[in-house]
Amino acid sequence: MELKVIALAGNPNVGKSTVFNGLTGLNQHTGNWPGKTVTNAQGKFTYKDKSFVLVDIPGTYSLMATSVEEEIARDYICSGEADVIVVVTDATCLERNLNLVLQILEITTNVVVCVNLLDEAKKKKIHIDLGSLSNLLGVPVVGTVARSKKSLEKLKEQIYFATLIENAGSGNSRHHFTEEEAENIIRKASFIYRQCVSTENRNYNYFDRKIDRIVTSRTFGIPLMILLLGMIFWITIVGANYPSGILSDFFLHLEGKLLTMSEALELPTWLEGSLILGVYKTLTWVISVMLPPMAIFFPLFTLLEDFGYLPRVAFNMDQFFRKASAHGKQSLTMCMGFGCNACGVIGCRIIDSPRERLIAILTNNFVPCNGRFPTLIAIITMFFITSDAGPTQTVLSTLLLLGVILLGIFLTLMMSKILSGTILKGIPSSFALELPPYRRPQFGKVILRSILDRTLFVLGRAVIIAAPAGLIIWALANTFVGEASLLAHCTDFLDPFARLLGIDGVILMAFILGFPANEIVVPIMIMCYMATGNITELDSLDQLKALFVDNGWTWLTALCTMLLCLLHFPCGTTCLTIKKETQSLKWTLLAFLIPTAAGFTLCFIVASIGRLFI
Ligand SMILES: Nc1nc2c(ncn2[C@@H]2O[C@H](COP(=O)(O)OP(=O)(O)OP(=O)(O)O)[C@@H](O)[C@H]2O)c(=O)[nH]1
Ligand SMILES: [Mg+2]
């Protein structure tokens, strides 16, 4: 069957990825802020007797592109690779969107215009005459509400018809518009807009502006942001305790069963030890301790993103990034880093200036990703909350977590400033960030997707990386050279240096072995301690704490471990991504060294001061 290629073009934040997901059933990340998609994504769908390849491309305001992701969009549109281009537009600001439609129509006429966000237009009492719009443009026009799949049927039909036309995909490499042509297009867009759109109520974003006056105000903007972040942390810490307990009880119960079974099967001790105490324990630890906080934090964070809060964060933080001679959009890439630093690094493509993009890439690792975030929570829960925690303790833990994160943000700014004053000198470029309208988040979908996606992601990584790591550690701990095991030799070697940093050899080795994935740092510590100690039953965080305390942990060790968790080299995936994005070994090496040096220095200082109080 012949495959037709359909491209989804349009201004940023108009719902292209949502249309893409709706048509293909895939899960491209969507979010209520411009610049979310930075690379082309492909998916397939079928309609009647035809199969289509759908390409989701980054948003662009015009074909006279300026940034990397806009160039990707422009090059794709102009390449003629697509048989049909679907231009997705925002019904609530059609005039501006029509500029791009008209520019694309100069290149190819095989276009279907999708007027999306009709639900919002309706709320704002904007009426669009789709029929005359289609007549004036000379191409099919379909109205959609991309969040509801039903409304996409018509779009599929129009795409189908458009591909029946001969000479589909007549590409045209011409994309230089003279000033006069560009002005003509603007005039034409304005004319068509006046013909097809009528509004009853011009003051439709009154509420948005009212909220923005508080949320982005000079006085309340930042405190409100910190309060919101604190609230999310608090809900995460309080909410994660209970499911964690249930899960770990369940896994312990299962472990008992597995041990009985292995005895019945008369498995050799080494096999029983490596499988159950090595692999099984690591995996179940990851699931029971790391999953609950993630399953709470990420949906909450994504809801804020879907609501449209992130661009407001960027707006508030702009002044600080500007003072650090960096780019305001860096706060957006920083926010993406909370999910995954590798994604944050790719997201840096939204920053146009190469200098500022590099700064954003090099400092992205200063905010903890989903592999480190639950580690921080686990250490806080173990060392700073007891199992019968009262409200004061949970508030204190929240403040501690908030402090660590704010420290990460502060260091991002500091390091940006240092970089732009030394190896990446330059004047900050100005930018216009659009504040998109607030949108009601899709509660059910966001919660389901972020739990499912993250859960599967973490589980996947745990299985792929933690399980073999468990095996290796078990083997190291059980292979003896002279009096001591190989594991002991390694940790003893690292110990003197680690002590200077307020930690011990095991912790340092856990961070080193955790290079492939941060998720496994604490499980490695547990395995190392268990291999040398004699506690084998760990049925609660309290006993886990006992294991750590037995191995010499104090609150200072916990604090330094948290600092090192926040500040150390990026994980393997992130390093590879940095190499790919910068095309340079030098910058990758620097991205590796900067946070590590910062972490070591800070731990050394904190440990030296802390020891005075112990
Ligand atoms: N109310 C409403 N919201 C929508 C609709 N379509 C998309 N959205 C929301 O609009 C936001 C932006 O959607 P995306 O699909 O990420 O937009 P995009 O065009 O891919 O954005 P970029 O990748 O940044 O160019 C998301 O929060 C969507 O949930 C719609 O028809 N109605
Ligand atoms: Mg997108």
Residue 171 has pLDDT above 70, yes or no: no
According to the model, what pLDDT value does residue 389 have? 61
Instruction: Work out the pLDDT band at 129, boundaries 50, 70, 90.
Output: very high
Query: Among 100-109, 435-444, 457-466, 563-572, where is mean pLDDT lowest?
Result: 457-466
For ligand 1, whether the C-beta of 12 sits within 6 Å is yes
Which whole number is the average pLDDT over 579-584?
94
Question: Does ligand 1 lie within 6 Å of residue 356's CB atom?
Answer: no
- The size of the chain, in residues, is 614
Q: Hey, what are 231's tokens?
A: 């609230």
Residues of the chain with pLDDT > 90, as a percent, come to 47
Label the pairing between strands 484-485 and 480-481: antiparallel
Nearest CA to ligand 1 atom 2: 117
Q: Where are the alpha helices (DSSP H) in 218-325?
A: 221-264, 269-272, 281-285, 291-307, 310-323
Q: DSSP letter at 80?
A: T
Maximal CA-CA distance, the chain: 88
For residues 58 and 68, give the distance between their C-alpha atoms in angstroms, rounded to a whole number.
10
217 CB-near residues (< 8 Å, 6+ apart): none
* Structure-block tokens of residue 500: 């200077």
What pLDDT, on a 0 to 100 scale, did the predictor assign at position 293? 85
| Residues 6 or more apart in contact with residue 146 via CB below 8 angstroms | 15, 18, 19, 22, 88, 116, 117, 152
The proportion of the chain whose per-residue pLDDT surpasses 70, expressed as a percent, equals: 93
Distance CA 43, CA 18 (A): 13
Ligand 1 centroid from CA 409, angstroms: 28
- Taking all residues of the chain, what is their mean pLDDT, rounded to a whole number? 87
Q: Which domains are assigned to the chain? A: 3-204 (3.40.50.300), 221-429+442-611 (no CATH)
| Contact 306 CB / ligand 1 (< 6 Å) | yes
Among 502, 505, 548, 506, which Cα is nearest to 524's? 506
| Residue type present at position 444 | G
Sequence letter at residue 451? I
Q: What is the pLDDT of residue 591?
A: 96
Whether 119 lines ligand 1, by a CB cut-off of 6 Å, is yes
Is pLDDT above 80 for 440?
Answer: yes
Residue with tokens 């590099």: 358
Cβ of 147 below 6 Å from ligand 1 = yes
Atom of ligand 1 nearest to the CA of 56: 20
Q: Is 426 left (phi over 0), alpha (psi -120 to 50) or beta?
A: left
| Burial of residue 501 (number of CB atoms within 10 Å: 0-12, 13-18, 19+) | buried
Between the CA of 437 and the centroid of ligand 1 the distance, in Å, is 11
Band (pLDDT 50/70/90 cuts) for residue 271 is confident
Question: Residue 310 and residue 315: Cα distance in Å, rounded?
Answer: 9
Q: Is the CB of 311 under 6 A from ligand 1?
A: no
Q: Does residue 420 line the site of ligand 1, with CB under 6 A?
A: no
- DSSP bridge pairs for 46: 51
| Residue 180 one-letter amino acid | E
Residue 222 burial class via C-beta count within 10 angstroms: exposed 0-12, middle 13-18, buried 19 and up: middle
Average pLDDT score over residue span 178-190: 88
Looking at residue 175, its pLDDT comes to 59
Cβ atoms of 370 and 517 within 8 Å: the answer is no
Q: What is the pLDDT of residues 389-433, one digit of tens each?
A: 677 778 888 999 999 999 999 999 999 999 999 998 888 777 777
Does the Cβ of 439 fall within 6 Å of ligand 1?
A: yes
Mean pLDDT of 250-277: 86
- pLDDT exceeds cutoff 60 at 173: no
The ipTM is 0.99
> Quick one: pLDDT at residue 334?
94
3-state secondary structure of 88: strand
For the cut 60, the answer to whether the pLDDT of residue 535 exceeds it is no
pLDDT in tens, 103-124: 999 888 899 999 999 999 998 8
- Ligand 2 mean position to 28 CA, how many Å? 8
Q: Does residue 80 register a pLDDT over 90?
A: no
pLDDT tens, 203-238? 767 888 889 999 999 899 999 999 999 999 999 888
pLDDT of 267 > 60? The answer is yes
The answer, yes or no, to whether any atom of ligand 1 lies below 6 A from the CB of 60, is no
> What mean pLDDT is predicted for residues 470-493?
85
Q: What is the 303 CA–ligand 1 centroid distance (Å)?
A: 13
Quick one: average pLDDT of 29-44?
85
Atom of ligand 1 nearest to the CA of 37: 23
Whole-number pLDDT of residue 283: 77
Q: What is the DSSP string of 6-65?
A: EEEEESTTSSHHHHHHHHH-------SSTT---S-EEEEEEETTEEEEEEE----S-SS-
For the ranges 126-130, 373-377, 536-540, the one whose mean pLDDT is highest: 126-130
Which pLDDT tens digit goes with each residue over 133-170? Answer: 999 999 999 999 999 888 899 999 999 999 887 655 45
Q: What is the distance between the alpha carbons of residues 351 and 366, in angstroms, rounded to a whole number?
A: 18
Q: Which of 163-172, 246-255, 427-436 has the lowest mean pLDDT?
A: 163-172
Whose CA is closest to atom 13 on ligand 1?
A: 15
Taking the alpha carbons at both ends of the chain, their separation in whole angstroms is 74
Residue 104 beta carbon below 6 angstroms from any ligand 1 atom: no
Burial of residue 463, with CB atoms counted within 10 A of its CB: 0-12 exposed, 13-18 middle, 19 or more buried: middle
Question: Over 60: is that where the pLDDT of 174 sits?
Answer: no
What pTM was estimated for this model as a whole? 0.86
Residue 534 predicted with pLDDT over 50? no
Ligand positioned closest to the Cα atom of 302? 1
Mean pLDDT of 472-481: 82
Minimum mean pLDDT range among 95-104, 141-150, 270-279, 579-588: 270-279
Given a cut of 50, is residue 547 above it in pLDDT?
Answer: yes
> What distance in Å separates the CA atoms of residue 434 and residue 350, rounded to the nearest whole number?
13
Mutation test of ligand 1: which of 8, 11, 17, 29 has the most ligand atoms closer than 8 Å to its C-beta?
A: 17
Q: Which two tokens stand for residue 534?
A: 């004699």
